[in-house]
Structure 1
Amino acid sequence: MTTPPRLSRLTFHGPLSEARAAAMVRRLAATRPGSVLDIGCGWGELMLRLLAAVPQARGVGVDVNAVDLERGRCAAGARGLADRVEFAEESAVGTGRGPADVVLCLGASQALGDDLVTALRELRRLVADGGRVLLGEGFWQRTPTEAELAGMWPGASVTDHHDLAALVDLTVAAGFRPEWIETANPDEWEEFESAYQADRELWLAANPGHPLAPETRESLDTHRASWLTYRGTLGLTYLTLAPTSH
C-alpha cells in the first residue's frame, strides 16, 4: 500500500531560511568547536552544516524519531561526514552526552524536560564553559485571545509560551548571556508551514479514494487551521547564548 510521503520539501524542521542558517553556522564556527551536540536533532541539517564548516569537530544528534535519524545518517554519508557524527535514537532527558562546545536545541526544548526552566538548566549543564547554545524557542508575539487559543493545538494555553523579553530573561537567569537575538520572519514561517504539508497535500489530491485519505485529510486540515490561527501570534526566536562562568 502506498503511503503519503513525508517532509521531503523541508530542508530544516523549522522556519529557517538558507541565509539565516548560513549566518548561524558562520557565527558558531568562529568559536572553533571540537564537539557539537544536537538535542531533538531530527535529521540534523544545521549540525551537519556546522561540521562541514569545522573539520576538527565531531557531532552527536539525539532524537527518538528513527525515520528522521536515518535521513540524517544518509545525509552525513553523502557529504563525507559519517565518520564524524553519530545519530542516536534515545531520549535526551538526563542525557550524559555533554558537555559539548556547541549545543543545538532548535524547537526541541521539550525533549529536555516538562518546562522551559528545566530545559534551560539542562542546556547550561550540557554546554562547555566558553561554548555556545543555539536555542530555537517559541514565544508569543502578542497575547492570544481565548478564541485564538481554541483554534491552535489541543489544550493551547497562554502559559504555553512567554513573550520574547521574558524568554530572554529566563535564559539569563539560567546562566547565559545572549550573544545574538533574532526571530523567524513571516516568509520563513510560510515556507516552513507550506513545505511541512506540501508532500501530503499533493498525495491526497492524487489519491482521494485511498484508504489512508480520510485520516490524511483530517491531519492536514487540522494542522492548516491551527497554523492559520497562530500565524502572526506565535513567533520563534533563535538565541545564540554564551554560558556565564561557574
Structure 2
Amino acid sequence: MTDTYEDHPPRLGSLTFHGPLSEARATRMIERIAANAPATVLDIGSGWGELLLRVLEAAPGSTGVGIDINAEDLARGRVLAKERGLADRVEFVEESALGTTRGPVDAILCLGSSQALCDPEQPHDPAVALRELRRLVKPGGRVVLGEGFWQRKPTPEEFAGMWPGAHEGDHLLLGPLVDLAIEAGFRPAWIETASAEEWEEFESGYRHDTETWLAAHADHPLADETRERVDRQRSTWLNGYRNVLGMAYLTLVPVG
C-alpha cells in the first residue's frame, strides 16, 4: 500500500500559532516589537515559527533564529520561510534552549516554551526562565513571554481532570507572575491574557485534523492509539483546566 499523508494521523495542520493566540493579538504584538526596530530576533521553542516570520516581515533587515527540539515543526518553518522569501534571513535549528549561547539579541519570543530554559530534572520555575530571558536580551530590547497562569485556584475535582500529577505549584496567579518578571530585571510594558475564544480556537484547532482523520479511518491500525490520545487530551481541557488555566502575554523591557 502506498504510504501517503492520509494513511497517518495528521498533526496541527489547522493551527496558525501553537497556542491560544488570535490574529488580532498577534498583529498588535508584532507592531510593538517592530516599532523597536530589532536587528536580531530569537524564538525559543519556536515550533514552525509563525510569529517569528511575521516579526521579520514587519522589521526589514532583521534576521532571526528559531530553536526547538521538534524536527517536524522546524521543517514546516523552513518551508514557510522559503514560501515567504525569508529563507536567507531566518534559521530554524534543532537544539535545546537550556543554557543557550544564542544571545544577546534585540528581541526574544518565548511563547508557551519557558520550560525549555529550565533544568528538565527540576520542577518548572518561571523565575529561572525569566532570569535566562534577561541574560539573553540586549539593553533596550524586548521580550514577549507567553506563560501559563492560574486564573483562580483550581478545585480538587479540576486538578483530578488535568494532566497526571497536576498541582497548584504548576503555575502562579497572574500578579505573582508579573512580580517575578520585575524581580528578574524587567518592566512589564504590556500585560494581556488570552480570551476564552482564543483558547477554544486553539484547543479545537489542535485536534481538528486528527478528529477528522479518525472519523474517516476508524479501522486504521493506528486508530485506537490515536483515539485514546486525542480523547485524553480533550478530557484534560474540558474536565480539567478549561476556564482555569490562563495564558499571559507579557511584553517585557529590560531595566538598565
TM-score per shorter chain, which class? over 0.9
The reply on whether 1:123 has 2:128 as its aligned counterpart is no
Provide the residue aligned with 2:150 in structure 1.
140
Instruction: Supply the distance in 2 between the matched residues of 1:78 and 1:180 (Cα, whole angstroms).
Output: 32
How far off is 1:154 after superposition?
Answer: 1.0
Structure 2: tracts of 5 or more residues without a match = 119-123
Aligned pair partner of 1:75 in 73, 80, 85: 80
Where does residue 50 of structure 1 map in the other structure? Answer: 55
Q: Quick check: 1:193 aligned with 2:203?
A: yes
1:102 aligns with 2:107: yes
- The residue identity in structure 2 corresponding to 1:194 is S
Number of corresponding residues: 245
State the TM-score, normalizing by the size of structure 1.
0.99
Partner of 2:217: 207
Residue identity (%):
65
User: Match of 2:194, as an amino acid?
Assistant: A
Q: Does 1:84 align with 2:89?
A: yes
- Which deviations, in whole Å up to 9, do the C-alpha atoms of 1:100-120 show, x marking residues without a partner? 100000000000004211111
What's 1:6 paired with? Answer: 11
Specify the code of the residue in structure 2 equivalent to 1:7: L
Query: Structure 2 counterpart of 1:116, which letter?
Result: P
Q: How far apart are the structure 2 equivalents of 1:115 and 1:167?
A: 11
CA RMSD across the alignment: 0.7
Q: Distance in 2 between matches of 1:4 and 1:47?
A: 27
Segment of structure 1 superposing worse, 107-116 or 67-76: 107-116
Q: Is residue 153 of structure 1 aligned with residue 163 of structure 2?
A: yes
Distance 1:163 1:217 in 2: 33
User: Which amino acid counterpart does residue 32 of structure 2 have in structure 1?
Assistant: R
Question: In structure 2, what residue type is equivalent to 1:78?
Answer: E
Which residue of 2 is the match for residue 218 of structure 1?
A: 228
Write the distance in 2 (CA, Å) between the matches of 1:16 and 1:117. Answer: 23
Structure 1, residues 139-165: CA drift from partner, whole Å, max 9, x if none?
Answer: 000000111111101110110000000
Q: What secondary structure does 1:82 align onto?
A: coil
- Once the two structures are TM-superposed, the CA of residue 17 in structure 1 deviates from its matched residue by 0.4
Report the equivalent of 1:32: 37
The 1-side partners of 2:87 and 2:139 are apart by 27
State the Cα distance separating 1:223 from its structure 2 match.
0.5
Letter aligned with residue 186 of structure 2: F
Question: Could you state the TM-score of these two structures normalised by the residue count of structure 2?
Answer: 0.95
3-state SS, counterpart of residue 5 of structure 1? coil
- The CA deviation string for residues 201-233 of structure 1, in whole angstroms up to 9 with x for no partner, is 010011111110111111111000001121100
Structure 1: which amino acid aligns with 2:250? L
Bigger mean CA deviation after superposition, 234-243 or 109-118: 109-118
1:243 equivalent to 2:248? Answer no
Show CA shifts across 1:38-63 (max 9, x none).
00000000010000011110000000
Query: Which whole-Å deviations, capped at 9, do the CAs of 1:78-137 have from their partners, x for residues lacking one?
Result: 000000000010000000000010000000000000421111110000000100000000
